[in-house]
Amino acid sequence: MDSDLRHRHAASFGAAANAYAAHRPDYAHDAIRWALEPAPGPRVLDLGAGTGKLTATLAAMGTDVTAVEPDQAMLAELRRSLPEVAALSGNAESIPLPDSSVDAVLAGNAMHWFDMAVAGPEIARVLAPGGVLAGLWNTVDDSVDWVAGLARASGPAAIGQRDTPASWRTETATLHLPTTDAPVHFGSPEQAGFQHGQRRTADSLVATLGTRAGMLVMPDEEREANLARIRGYLTTRPETSAGEFTLPMVTCVLRVRHL
């Protein structure tokens, strides 16, 4: 993805901040615990925090969490829902925190937007010695037959290359590295997956997929056609056509340590 398209996708969420807050899932607690396991202390930065899906769980788990988010609409939603959490305007390439001020930097469905040639040194700057950087992604579990069919029906704009566990593993293995000759600030990556799920109806799952960046940047007519196709598929499956169901998911984690 070229830089202009990346920026357009990354900037697409603000207009759908309310829908994002309402429909995006939280993250498996075991995944968060694994991400934080090597951290030298409780101070955590949720970087690219969005509306606070990951922030809320970090706060509930007792960490000393600070949220940083560049989009003002997303940040406003985060501050409204989590008034007790320090929430700052900023991004991965310009983090408004002092040197060595956090023990872990976590990013929920956000790390793929970072320009690691610039963000890498910034993240390393705010991390304490021995600190951890971890990206978390909620993927759909396509080992389940109807979910594999959903991925095919949805197309790559809604369920893309990082949105199923096997393709996620390949797509994220080097995300902690700069794409230039800039210095590397982190050690060898570790990857792990943790079972998760989200209670959905056909309508709410369609709404969730409608908050994906690839869908948000589509022309209205094309997006509505895509969402109608997804809704049509869900009505044909016994697992999803009659009320609430659990969407099988895997929270996948990429974890690296500050060199």
Average pLDDT value for residue range 223-243 = 97
Confidence of residue 16 (pLDDT cuts 50, 70, 90): low
Contacts of 105 by beta carbon, 8 Å cutoff, 6+ apart? 44, 45, 47, 123, 126, 127, 131, 132, 133, 134
For 91-108, how does the pLDDT look when each residue is reduced to its tens digit (9 = 90+)?
999 999 999 999 999 999
For 190-226, how does the pLDDT look when each residue is reduced to its tens digit (9 = 90+)?
999 999 999 999 999 999 999 888 999 999 999 999 9
pTM of this prediction? Answer: 0.90
